[in-house]
């Protein structure tokens, strides 16, 4: 079953359109997978998203970071933590730059789009789910891909 962060933080109901921006230096091959992940969430929730170049004013920013990157949650090099995102309305989504990332499903690499679906769930206010098929279920392996599940969509509908 879906879950929320303590205190149920969420975007204001008046704010169903969110902008996102990639920080300068984001690897070019990550852009399309992240765009597709936002499109999937938009198709299944009341949210809409648009990409902006104005990264200082975007609601959500995406970047690749390595080791200590000044947000109190240092990455750990290869394996371990792959990515993280913060609860609403922080809007920061970081990939660990030291992982093997892939655009297509590739043995031994992490699927950029699947991880984006999971991290965007956090950005919108979902915590981890106990439903195995859910994108918010807290287990994921290299060389695998997943999509949204009814449990993820029900979670967003229950929060908003
Ligand atoms: N990163 C963790 C995650 O995104 C970071 C994290 C731990 C976290 N607890 C949290 C983020 C609570 C928000 C709220 O869950 S991770 C998965 C999993 C990770 C894990 O790199 O371990 C996925 C990234 F566990 F679901 F498979 C993506 Cl899909
Ligand atoms: Ca890591
Ligand atoms: Zn970070
Ligand atoms: Zn998670």
* Residue 29: partners with Cβ closer than 8 Å, 6 or more residues away: 101, 103, 112
Pocket of ligand 1 (CB under 6 A): 81-84, 115, 118-119, 122, 127, 138-140
Please give the ipTM for the structure prediction. Answer: 0.96
CATH 3.40.250.10 fits 17-159, yes or no: no
Region of 154 please: left (phi>0), alpha (psi -120 to 50) or beta: alpha
Catalytic residue among 65, 113, 119, 144: 119
Q: What is the β-pairing status of strands 92-96 and 83-85? A: antiparallel
Model pLDDT for residues 134-143, shown as the tens digit of each residue: 999 999 999 9
Instruction: Report the chain's mean pLDDT, rounded to a whole number.
Output: 97
* Residue 90: partners with Cβ closer than 8 Å, 6 or more residues away: 123
Domain ranges of the chain: 17-159
Model pLDDT for residues 47-88, shown as the tens digit of each residue: 999 999 999 999 999 999 999 999 999 999 999 999 999 999
Ligand with an atom nearest the CA of residue 111: 1
pLDDT at 33: 98
């Amino acid at each position: 079953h879906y879950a929320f962060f303590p205190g149920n933080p969420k975007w204001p109901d008046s704010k169903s359109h969110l902008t996102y921006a990639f920080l300068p230096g984001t690897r070019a091959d990550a852009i399309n997978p992240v765009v597709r992940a936002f499109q999937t969430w938009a198709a299944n929730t009341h949210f809409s998203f648009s990409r902006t170049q104005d990264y200082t004013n975007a609601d959500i920013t995406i970047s690749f970071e390595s080791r200590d990157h000044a947000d109190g949650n240092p990455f750990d090099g290869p394996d371990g933590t792959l990515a993280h995102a913060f609860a609403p309305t922080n809007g920061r989504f970081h990939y660990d730059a030291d992982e093997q990332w892939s655009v297509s499903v590739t043995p031994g690499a992490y699927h950029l789009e699947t991880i984006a679906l999971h991290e965007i769930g956090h950005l919108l206010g979902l915590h981890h789910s106990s439903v195995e098929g859910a994108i918010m279920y807290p287990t994921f392996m290299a060389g695998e891909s997943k999509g949204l599940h009814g449990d993820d969509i029900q979670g967003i509908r229950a929060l908003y």
